[in-house]
A and B are shown apart, each in its own frame.
Chain A
């Protein structure tokens, strides 16, 4: 049995993004490694987040997710589109690798430093990974299927697939799909110790501009993007259409990444989607400024250029930093690219010519992580 076509209308989208340049903060006292840089929202108010009121204590990830969904709902209002209803007809599908890890770590640190008497229930409840999805349900009254996917760089893609599938199967009228990650100190400590992250506060320049030195790594980031999906044809003028999503894991631990294999993965996906590379309009890569990973992405970009000369290739992680569900922010940019038929400010063309095909019929997003997770998502006009 062949996979059934998976499409959905993207009715509205919203995002909460970090500022355009990394912020510098002293590393935690426990490690004392000087200043670290990250794409991080320093305060919610700084980003204009209007939270619908704190029901109880919420963690950072919950605030980001609620902010993104609220913006998507505001988008429905602005377009005069009926927003998703409270109740069972609206499903919630969230992709988040680390959810409220900040609260989980706080809970653990209290146990370690102060003893078990210091175990705080609120931190424990928030530490459960579906705290974000359930908080969305609580805040907005969505009682449909409620799923949380926590699988590294496959998390958002899993959520997107599930959201679209629920519509296809007639199990929801709307699906609210969200990709979110909150950057907390522990992740920075971990990433720096393993050499994933650099300390240079200059913005990342994936596949363009001055390359970071070998071993400099990428920079961590955070943010959230949310999408209101409905079944195809149920809205007169959706922003865009989800026409394909495929995400896969590595075949082995510590994989050796090979551009040729990745190009074959992309070609197979596009073939299955029925979209020719030459017709893509815009190919968006998840290059993140890490010299090792960017080298693979560069080879892939070259390979794509030989298959479709002039194909516009864009990147976006110079404005988000790197995190497991950053692909959700790339996807949100892609939706706006298709909706507005123009390159969003936060995207940058690194090869080819956006005007070559005359319009942005499809945006093909390709992501590859250092662990070998890879995905193709297609947003169409």
Chain B
């Protein structure tokens, strides 16, 4: 039986409230500079004063698209960075061997909202094309722009979408369906998301404080993260730089509640265990976990229980980076996976910004200051509505060539 090909990361790109590039993002992380700020994108009576992870600047100028939703612009900009970072060009792969898998939830929701506002408030039936409202539009844009003529899909697993999309990207490479996969996640701020989370009383009035005893909830954000995934053989053959090995991933479903996680974190623990199993590593091999850590009452203790029960008394370093860019929904798993790879590259642990006193229900000691550390293996976790959990595990180049 042929061994599973290793899936490696050869390119990355991202945009969030922490910055428009990898370098800007890491600089914000290293300096402990939070990205949350007052909402300016639209007016909101109830949510206008809530700190959000809003991306400032003109995304259309970055993407170069003449049309499209805010999500489309973010996705294209992140993809442009990733494509360039991977050193790809039109001749690097056959079109039908290039795939795109993007996690997305809300797409161009603002177009739907504008249409309905005209319909109900102005009694104007506006027949303009609403096709850019679909959440699959961003993946279509990437496929068209980058000549990805193979498998194409949009994963919509709530806030675990980004991690799930990376996992599916691995599936495609391992199954021989693709040589190059553009995988990641995207989402943008809109009224539905902000008011929706606020109606559930999940949004913090003073910005998220993951794992803190006095945390008041999450902060909604926006952005995109895109990785270029390839089989290691394909990457080596074209002389590409390998940034990391996506060595394992796990996806599970709690089947417990439509919006709340299973209290003991069984599903997340299983997702992390599957990621380790796929990588052929024991829990003790993990040096760092970039936790989902939203700052909600439910999420943080559940995640801590899952981590503690799997890793026991050999806990890896843990931090949540949500206060740098907010909870970017479908993009979260991808953006935080990129941060995790950057942590491996920089050999440093991002700080858990906003944490002052650890919640007694959280048996973790999240890292609060940016600090250097020897990191060979790192994991990123995501949880979503519907009980969706995902975990992706990365290894640093130079750490597996000698592995039997």
Q: Given A119-B195, A119-B196, A119-B198, A108–B113 Cβ distance below 8 Å?
A: yes
Interface residues of chain A: helix, strand, loop or mixed (majority): mixed
B255 to A142, Cβ gap below 8 A? yes
Q: Which residues of A contact B270 (CB under 8 A)?
A: 88
The residue of chain A having its C-beta at the shortest distance from the C-beta of B104 within the complex is A150
Are A129 and B135 in contact, with the CB atoms below 8 A?
yes
- CB contacts (< 8 Å) of B155 on chain A: these are 147-150
Q: B153: which A residues are within 8 A, CB to CB? A: 149, 151, 154-155, 158, 247
> Which chain B positions have C-beta within 8 A of A6?
175
Question: Which residue of chain A has its CB nearest to the CB of B200?
Answer: A121
Report the separation of the CA atoms of residues A120 and B195 in the bound assembly, to the nearest whole angstrom: 9
Contact B388 A138 (CB under 8 A): no
Whether A4 sits at the interface, judged by CB under 8 Å, is: yes
Contact present for B120 and A112 (CB under 8 Å): yes
Measured between beta carbons, the chain B residues less than 8 angstroms from A133 are 157, 253, 386
Q: A138–B257 contact, CB under 8 A?
A: yes
In the bound complex, do residue A165 and residue B252 qualify as a contact, i.e. CB atoms below 8 Å apart? Answer: no
B191: chain A residues within 8 A (beta carbon): 108, 111, 116
0/1 per residue, B30-72, Cβ < 8 Å to A? 0000000000000011110000000000000000000000000
B233 closest partner in A (C-beta): A1
Chain B residue nearest to A138 (CB atoms) is: B255
B134 partner, pick from A1, A97, A137, beta carbons under 8 A: A97
Find A134's partner among B44, B198, B253 (CB 8 Å cutoff): B253
Task: Choose from A143, A146, A165, A248 the contact partner of B157 (Cβ within 8 Å).
Answer: A146
Contact B198 A3 (CB under 8 A): no
| Chain A residues in 8 Å Cβ range of B258 | 56, 125, 131, 134-135, 138
B254 within 8 A of A: yes
Specify which of A2, A115, A162 lies most central, judged by the most chain B CB atoms within 10 Å of its CB.
Answer: A162
CA distance A186 to B130 in the complex (A): 11
In the complex with contacts A1-B231, A107-B192, A165-B171, A149-B156 CB distance below 8 A: yes
Q: Which of A125, A165, A168, A194 has the most CB of B within 10 A?
A: A125
Interface flag for B176 (CB, 8 Å): yes
B18-26, B139-147, B283-291 - the one binding chain A? B139-147
Interface residue SS majority, chain B? mixed
Complex interface: chain A residues within 8 A of B198 (CB): 116, 119
Total interface residues on A, CB under 8 Å, equals: 72
A144 and B253 within 8 A (CB): yes
Q: Which residues of B contact A247 (CB under 8 A)?
A: 151-153
Does B27 touch A at the CB level, under 8 Å? no
Residue A54 interfacial (CB < 8 Å):
no
Chain A residue at smallest Cβ distance from B125: A31
For B149, the chain A residues whose CB sits under 8 A away are 248, 251
Q: Is the CB of A131 within 8 A of B136?
A: no
Is B219 positioned at the interface, with any CB of A under 8 Å from its CB?
Answer: no
Give bound CA distance, A128 to B388, whole Å: 12
Contact of B253 among A92, A105, A121, A252 (CB under 8 A): A92
A380 to chain B, nearest CB (A): 20
Does B112 reach chain A (CB closer than 8 Å)?
yes
Closest Cβ of chain B to A239, distance in Å, is: 24
| A112 contacts B157, C-beta separation under 8 Å | no
Residues of chain B contacted by A109 (CB below 8 angstroms): 116, 120
Q: Are A112 and B116 in contact (CB under 8 A)?
A: yes
Once the chains bind, are A121 and B199 in contact (CB under 8 Å)?
Answer: yes
- Cα distance A180–B324 when bound, in Å? 38
State in angstroms the CA–CA spacing of A146 and B383 once bound together. 12
- Please tell me if the beta carbons of B196 and A150 are within 8 angstroms of each other in the complex: no
B136 in complex: contacting residue of A2, A150, A193, A252, CB < 8 Å: A150
Chain A nearest CB: distance from B102 CB in Å?
Answer: 9
Q: How far is the CB of B216 from chain A (nearest CB, A)?
A: 17
Whether A208 sits at the interface, judged by CB under 8 Å, is no
A145 touches B253 (CB 8 A): yes
Question: B231 contacts A193, CB within 8 Å?
Answer: no
With a CB–CB cut-off of 8 A, which chain A residues contact B154? 149-151
Those of A238-267 within 8 Å (CB) of chain B: 247-253
Which B residues are CB-close (under 8 A) to A158? Answer: 153
Are A116 and B46 in contact, CB atoms less than 8 angstroms apart? yes
The smallest beta-carbon distance between A145 and chain B, in angstroms, is: 5
- In the assembled complex, which residues on chain A have CB atoms less than 8 Å from the CB atom of B144? 250-253
Residue on A with the closest CB to B46?
Answer: A116
A124 x B200 contact (CB < 8 A): yes
Are A125 and B385 within 8 A (Cβ)? yes
Give the nearest-CB partner of B107 in chain A.
A150
A99 close to B (CB within 8 Å): yes
The reply to whether the CB of B314 lies closer than 8 angstroms to some CB of chain A is: no
Whether A117 pairs with B385 at a CB distance below 8 angstroms is: no
When distances are taken between beta carbons in the complex, the residues of chain B under 8 Å from A86 are 255
Q: B254 touching A143 by the CB < 8 A rule?
A: yes
Indicate whether B129 reaches chain A with its CB closer than 8 angstroms. yes
- Could you give, for residues 171-209 of chain B, a 1 whenever the CB lies within 8 Å of some chain A CB and a 0 otherwise? 100111101000000000001100111111000000000
A322 CB-CB contact with B under 8 Å = no
Query: Is the pair B116, A143 in contact by a Cβ cutoff of 8 Å?
Result: no
Cβ contacts B104-131/A at 8 Å (1 or 0 each)? 1100000011011101110101110111
Given contacts A134-B385, A134-B387, A146-B251, contact A112 B117 (CB under 8 A): yes
Q: Which residues of B contact A121 (CB under 8 A)?
A: 196, 199-200
Distance of A130 Cα from B161 Cα, bound (Å): 10
The answer, yes or no, to whether A152 is at the interface (CB within 8 Å) is yes
Interface: B228 (CB within 8 A): no
B153 (CB) vs chain A CBs: closest residue: A158
A131, B157: Cβ atoms under 8 Å? Answer: no
Checking B127, B158, B253 against A143 with a beta-carbon cut-off of 8 angstroms, the contacting residue is B253
Q: In the complex, what distance in Å separates the CA atom of A288 from the CA atom of B45?
A: 45
Which B residues are CB-close (under 8 A) to A253? 140, 144
- A116 and B196 contacting across the interface, CB-CB below 8 Å: no
Residue in contact with A112 in the complex, picked from B47, B96, B113, B259, CB distance below 8 Å: B113
Give the CA-CA distance A189 to B174 in the complex, in Å. Answer: 43
Asked if A292 lies at the interface with its beta carbon under 8 angstroms from chain B, I say no
- Given A1-B231, A6-B175, A145-B251, are A129 and B45 also a contact pair (CB < 8 Å)? no
B397 within 8 A of A: no
Kindly state the separation between the CA atoms of A116 and B241 in the bound complex, as whole angstroms: 49
Q: Does B164 contact A (CB under 8 A)?
A: yes
> How far does the alpha carbon of A323 sit from the alpha carbon of B197 in the complex, in Å?
30
Residue of A107, A116, A138, A189 near B45 (CB, 8 A) is: A116
Q: List 11 A-B contacts (CB under 8 A).
A: A4-B176, A125-B258, A128-B158, A130-B158, A131-B386, A137-B254, A143-B254, A146-B388, A151-B136, A194-B130, A249-B143
Contacts beyond the supplied A124-B196, A128-B384, A146-B157: 15 A-B pairs with Cβ under 8 Å: A30-B125, A86-B255, A88-B252, A134-B253, A134-B385, A142-B253, A145-B252, A146-B251, A146-B253, A147-B164, A149-B153, A151-B152, A189-B125, A193-B127, A252-B144
The 3 closest A-B pairs by CB, nearest first: A134-B386, A124-B196, A146-B253
